[in-house]
Amino acid sequence: MFNKLEFVLEKYDELSMKVSDPEIINNQPLWQKHIKEMGEMEPIVNKYKEYKAAKDSMAEAKDMLDMGDEELKELAKMEISELEDRIPELEEELKILMLPKDPNDEKNVILEVRAGTGGDEAALFGNDLLRMYLRYGERRGWKAEIMDINDTGIGGIKEASVLIKGKGAYSRMKYESGTHRVQRVPATESSGRIHTSAATIAVLPEVDDVEVEINPNDVRVDVYRSSGNGGQCVNTTDSAVRLTHIPTGLVVTCQDEKSQIKNKDKAFKVLRSRLYDLKLQEQNAEISAERKSQVGSGDRSERIRTYNFPQGRVTDHRIGMTIYKLDSFLDGDIDEIVDGLITSDQAEKMKNL
């Protein structure tokens, strides 16, 4: 690991010199490429410099033990004691920073919500989840853009697609893919009986034209009149767009905008992300198996998380974590469980290494 860290440090120093070169500054695409590389290396470089400084301090403190001054010896012992705790911590932090990076981590995400088992109650829960993720995005300073939404008219959603833009959005949202189960008394239940319903979440990285090239001849484009809530223009013009990718059978709809052109652009964004996801599954059988186990069919038995209203608890079944603050969790305060999932994922990767 330390040989790799030395290489990263040398590469970082080399890039630092390059980005100050007037010729490279004048070549903006190359300059920006180097700046981006430096930005990716910077956390590792800073942590490694801190580690090296701690090792140097340890060596100096040990040298001070050989001196005759008793006061200096006591100071050296205190410093050694602190560094003996800090150096192993820095080594662990460096190991995590050196883990292979998911190339999609810094990307925006397309979040898809679908009502699963449970009828109207599942649709209402789907709306709760959508609001939870929108609030989470607000807390992190991300921006959300509704791509498409199919509501039930009573406050629920059958399905929705949202583009969430923000630094590192995919790195934190990717763990949300799967079936989410809710246990609560529906508003329509007169006897007070607890019902169990489910909704599925799919998190896809947003991809561009370069990563996924779509042959226009492979896509059938249908336009039609929007339905559901909307202004007069939305419901009286053929602004809604349906894309059918003939080779795969994937269907994407978008009717949120008044403009047919904007709806078409949004629909192609979703289609590209879905095709990219399919490509990943084909390339890696493990990813395919993992995705099936996460998203499944929307059946309540295939769950990754349970939201229990009577007990006010949220349980993530993948890491066995339970927290008793359901209200704040549904208001977007989900970092505690997300951090737990990231830590668990890192631990697994370190085991594999």
For residue 283, name the pLDDT band (cuts at 50, 70, 90): low
The per-residue pLDDT for 209 is 64
Confidence of residue 302 (pLDDT cuts 50, 70, 90): low
Residue of 95, 147, 142 whose CA lies nearest to 269: 147
Structure tokens at 129: 């989840």
Does pLDDT of 183 surpass 90?
yes
Interatomic CA distance for residues 237 and 225, integer angstroms: 6
- pLDDT surpassing 60 at residue 276: yes
pLDDT greater than 60 at residue 286: no
Rounded to two decimals, the pTM is 0.70
Q: What is the mean pLDDT of the chain?
A: 86
The better pLDDT of the pair 183, 274 is held by 183
Confidence class of residue 294 from pLDDT cuts 50, 70 and 90? very low
The tens digit of pLDDT for each residue in 103-125 reads: 889 899 999 999 998 889 999 99
Output the CA–CA distances (angstroms, integers) from residue 185 to 142, 192, 194, 314, 325, in the order listed: 33, 6, 4, 16, 18
Count CB-CB contacts under 10 A for residue 323: 17
Assign domain 216-281 one CATH number from 3.30.160.20, 3.30.565.10, 3.30.499.10, 3.40.50.2300.
3.30.160.20
The answer to whether 148 touches 161, Cβ cutoff 8 Å, is yes
How large is the average pLDDT for residues 248-271?
A: 86
Residue 156: count of CB within 10 angstroms of its CB: 20
Q: Which of 166-180, 192-206, 268-282 has the lowest mean pLDDT?
A: 268-282
pLDDT at 326 > cutoff 90: yes
Residue 299 clears pLDDT 90, i.e. is over it? no
Going by the DSSP 8-state scheme, the letter that residue 349 receives in this structure is H
Residues 6 or more apart whose CB falls under 8 angstroms from that of 140 comprise 166, 172
Degrees (nearest 5) of the Cα angle 182, 201, 314?
35
Q: Regarding the domain delimited by 109-210+297-351, which CATH topology (the fold level of the hierarchy) does it fall under?
A: Alpha-Beta Plaits (3.30.70)
Helices of type H across the chain: 2-18, 22-26, 28-64, 70-97, 119-139, 169-173, 232-236, 260-283, 285-295, 326-330, 335-352
pLDDT for residue 285: 53
Q: Which residues pair with 164 in a beta bridge?
A: 109, 144
- Alpha-carbon span 263 to 259, nearest angstrom: 6
- Confidence label for 236 from pLDDT (cuts 50, 70 and 90): low
Give me the phi and psi of 124, to 5 degrees please: -65, -40
Q: Which of 304, 335, 332, 320 lies closest to 178, judged by CA?
A: 304
Each domain of the chain, given as residue ranges in start order, spans 2-97, 109-210+297-351, 216-281
Question: Is pLDDT at 89 greater than 80 in this prediction?
Answer: yes
Residue 310 one-letter amino acid: P
Single out the residue of 77, 84, 47 nearest to residue 61, CA to CA. Answer: 77
What is the percentage of the chain residues whose pLDDT exceeds 90?
Answer: 50
Residue length of the chain = 353
Confidence of residue 181 (pLDDT cuts 50, 70, 90): very high
Q: Higher model confidence: residue 230 or residue 113?
A: 113
Is the pLDDT confidence value at 214 over 90? Answer: no
Q: What is the largest CA-CA distance in the chain?
A: 91
pLDDT-derived band at 21 (thresholds 50, 70, 90) equals very high
CA distance 56 to 166: 39
